[in-house]
Chain A
Amino acid sequence: MKKLIALILTAIMLISLSGCSADNQPAADKAEKSVFKIGAIPDQNAADLNRNFGAMAEYLSKATGLQVEFVPSVDYAALVTAFERGDIHMAWFGGLTHVQARSLVPEAEAIAQRPRDEQFHSVFIVQKELNVDKLEDLKGLSFTFGSESSTSGHLMPRYFLMEAGLDPAKDFEGAPNFSGSHDNTYNLVQAGTFKAGALNEAVWEKAVAEKKVDLNKVKVFYTTPAYYDYNWTINSNEYVDKVFGEGTRQNVKEALLSMDNDQADILALFQTDKFIEANNENYQAIETVAKKIGIIK
């Protein structure tokens, strides 16, 4: 009997091993390679992102003749890592993730952004009944940022808090929380879990327009000065032109910049009416702030 068990245990192991060594990979591999994968930082809830970027992938497929697919990712850093590995060919990054990606892939390039991304803002929100109308009033309240890698949900709000003389590590009620995304931030403040938070202005405006947030419970009390944020960053030649053919980077860029009224539906999902040219230099200021705060060394 015991021999039988030992035999079967060995069999399990052999099956496990053979299960992974059978090799019919090349075909699947090729199909894999010819898909142009786009990604996005998961700054909003997954369902919205799938809808928005699914539509964008469909448009890009038509416009460029590539087979474009949206690959969701769970956190900001995971997307940056996937981009570095060349698993993602083009990504919708925030300012900070763009800078991080470029430090890992120097040849990566910001190619397009929305007009609003040149003049981006974060909003600070608080529970309505609280008597808060400037950043200094946040002292002693519980506070939540978005993702730790977010520009508009963490980096810039932290910077403006520091400018206002607050130390996020000490001045709140307990350490600040990282909610993970902008949607989570307003949900948590509305639910009363945290008294105050900071998030991306665009997400806030959309939540207000779609009535996802109850303005009787939450109010905006401060909007930051403008800074550069989101953009489409395309990967290096090694992962794009060399794989999909010469000129692919340029084609994708043109496909994005040429979106107009015919693609109004898709553009609306991104809360814009067009994409304009972007470039790496715009993000110098973000890099400086990130270095000052210690996120980039």
Chain B
Amino acid sequence: MKKRNYLTLFLTLIFLMSFASVGWSKNLFHSGGSSTMLQILKSLLNPNLSPELLKLAFESSWITVAYAAAGISLALIIAFVLGIPASGVLTESTFGKWMSFTVFRGILGFMRSIHELVWAWLFVAAIGLSPYAAIFALAIAYGGALGKIFAELLQTVPQEPIKALRSAGASKLQILIYGYLPQALSNMVSYSMYRFECAIRSSAIMSFVGLGGLGYQIQLSLTELRYNEVWTFLFFLIVIVSAVDLWSSLLRKKMAEAAASRLSFVKLSTVALAAIAAASWMFIYIAEAASLLDIFNAKNLEHTKDFLSGLLGIGQAEPAFFSLESWKNAIRLAAETLHISIIAIGLSAAGMLLTVIPAARNAAEGTLTLKRKWYNWPLYLFTSGLYIISRSVPELVWAMIIVYILKPGILPGAIALALHNFGILGKLCAEVVEDLDLRPVRNLASSGASSGQILVYGVIPAVMPKLLSYILYRWEVIIRTTIVVGFVGAGGLGQQFKLSMSWFHYTDVTLILICYLLLVALVDLFSEGCRRIIQ
């Protein structure tokens, strides 16, 4: 308990110090920023709803969903192929366990360490501008994430049925199919659905490497300063993401229910998902005329080889990773990236803490503080609405808008990340508050505590550890994404990555990726340590 408080204090201090070290001396907005913000907000009230634009928005939405579905279906295959060996459930020997833990976990970790947009960029350089660049990128990043979770889920299934199967003489494969998979399935499905929702957002931003979809339209409208169109496309994105979110939470709920009532919904969902996946692949194969086999041709092999040897600096006089000067610069940028991520997580955590209580359903119903006020429901709807909008819009899109308002530098990137993660953290943490055991609260109330006292002594201490571990977990995600907001000029390693790619300085790209991977690993280690203290 003590340790945990010190840790909270320590983390808060780090955040405050980072926050203070931003160059606050000058004006935060750049000179024309506030008028631009006004224009953007004004057009929120009259989004462009002309038939042509709506048609375009529907088409782009479909492209976005199709890429996401295709990416996720490949990711699922990868997750099973790598996740099952990584769980170690098939191996018994020490060597086998060692293999599964280091080799397969290592591969999965590497795959998910690099953000999907960075993967996409690398794929475009290697195989050219094809829908598969986006699909492979999604498949790898999400395959890594899903594989890791699948492995963990398989490891933690109850052991009794497994033992029963084993003693009945079942083979390893049979144990896997009849013992492990059925027990982990429900969690696997719900996590996959959650990832599908994320993939839709990621797929939307694949426009940055030149692939169509909602992000591309948003980018076009934004650069031509047609803000009313930007909002139309954003609304489409928000609706799709919320729909998938709703669907997945319904599915989760139904799967947890007793067998009889859930059958039809689960069955229907499964069929619908299969249909979406099949339609997506057909669309990509026929309408986009992109065949998967075509990707593996001699020409692409040649280009991939060239690109890889470019990254490795083969035949180059001075590869960047052998230059002290380049290392210095890259480390400075890595520090800047870390700085951005700390401000981002701090801001989103602060925003979340201020809003999480009204955003919890039990607070709105009045069961949390045992007081019912007229403003509880409106406040609940408002905050949960904010969360939905904030998390549906990818951080990259937030960043694209914000660089028009704030001066280029560390802050626009940090704020973009904070805006996106505010909604995610808010949703996760509101659920923690909703799941809270209410008995201590009632005890406090019966001994005459006020609502404020109930919050301070009853609710906050009870939810804090969970909230803190969610915050740390989101920080791990943010550090991976920080590179991406740099693409639009929000500073850090990302900006340099984009410039180096544009200028074909491939050894600089390698150096940046090395620093990026080191940074991600470092943050993961630190955050894991902190979470261990909390638990």
Query: A residues touching B (Cβ–Cβ < 8 Å)?
Result: 1-6, 8-9, 11-13, 15-17, 19-23, 25, 28-29, 45-46, 73-78, 80-82, 84-87, 100, 103-104, 141-142, 148-149, 173-181, 183-184, 187-188, 191-195, 295-297
Contacts and interface: CB of A to CB of B under 8 A. Distances in A.
Contacts of B22: none
Closest 10 CB pairs of A and B: A192-B32, A20-B292, A19-B281, A174-B407, A74-B210, A77-B502, A16-B73, A193-B32, A175-B408, A12-B274
A12 B403 contact: no
Contacts of B289: 28
7 contacts: A16-B281, A75-B210, A78-B129, A81-B129, A87-B129, A175-B489, A179-B223
B99 interface: no
A188 B222 CA distance: 11
A3 B167 CA distance: 22
A149 B503 contact: yes
Contact of A174 (B181, B281, B408, B499): B408
Nearest to B285: A19
B26 A173 contact: yes
B503 A295 contact: yes
A77 B273 CA distance: 37
B278 A12 contact: yes
Contacts of B220: 46
Contacts, number: 161
Contacts of A22: 285
B381 interface: no
B336 to A, nearest CB: 12
B417 to A, nearest CB: 18
B293 A81 contact: no
A187 B291 contact: no
Nearest to B281: A19
B210 A6 contact: no
A215 to B, nearest CB: 18
B500 to A, nearest CB: 10
A13 B80 CA distance: 11
Contacts of B499: 148
A21 B291 CA distance: 8
A45 B409 contact: no
Interface stretch (B33-41, B432-440, B451-459): B33-41
B207 A74 contact: yes
A3 B165 CA distance: 17
Given A16-B281, A74-B210, A141-B31, 8 more contacts: A5-B270, A16-B278, A29-B294, A78-B124, A173-B407, A184-B224, A191-B36, A193-B32
Contact of B32 (A9, A78, A195): A195
Contacts of A141: 31
B185 interface: yes
B172 to A, nearest CB: 17
Contacts of A296: 503
B77 interface: yes
Contacts of A86: 299
A69 to B, nearest CB: 14
B210 A8 contact: no
A75 B502 contact: yes
Given A16-B74, A16-B281, A25 B30 contact: no
B277 interface: yes
Contacts of A104: 504
Interface stretch (B109-117, B259-267, B525-533): B259-267
A161 to B, nearest CB: 17
B128 A20 contact: no
A192 B125 CA distance: 36
Contacts of A82: 128-129
A42 to B, nearest CB: 10
A45 B224 contact: yes
Nearest to B295: A20
Given A100-B504, A192-B32, A20 B285 contact: yes
**Chain B CB within 10 Å — which of A3, A8, A78, A296 has the most?**
A78
B253 to A, nearest CB: 16
B267 A13 contact: no
A43 to B, nearest CB: 12
Contacts of B285: 19-20, 22
Contacts of A4: 267, 270
B371 interface: no
A22 B224 CA distance: 41
Contacts of A177: 403, 408, 489
A178 B318 CA distance: 28
B303 interface: yes
Nearest to A179: B223
B30 A193 contact: yes
Given A15-B281, A75-B502, A192 B36 contact: yes
Nearest to A104: B504
B125 A81 contact: yes
B271 A191 contact: no
B501 interface: yes
A188 to B, nearest CB: 8
B63 interface: no
Contacts of A181: 223
A192 B33 CA distance: 8
A87 B70 contact: no
B314 interface: no
A80 B489 CA distance: 21
Contacts of B282: 19
Contact of A15 (B76, B274, B294, B404): B274
Contact of A142 (B30, B124, B491): B30
Contacts of A187: 224-225
A87 B294 CA distance: 14
A40 to B, nearest CB: 14
Interface in B400-429: 403-404, 407-409
B385 interface: no
B182 interface: yes
B223 A180 contact: yes
Interface in B164-184: 177, 181-182
B216 interface: yes
Given A20-B291, A149-B503, A184-B223, A9 B407 contact: no
Given A194-B32, A195-B32, A76 B502 contact: yes
Nearest to B499: A148
Contacts of B278: 12, 15-16, 19
Contacts of B409: 174-175
A4 B270 CA distance: 10
B274 A194 contact: no
Interface string B341-381: 00000000000000000000000000000000000000000
A45 to B, nearest CB: 6
B474 interface: no
Nearest to B222: A184
Given A75-B502, A78-B210, A104-B504, A176 B33 contact: no
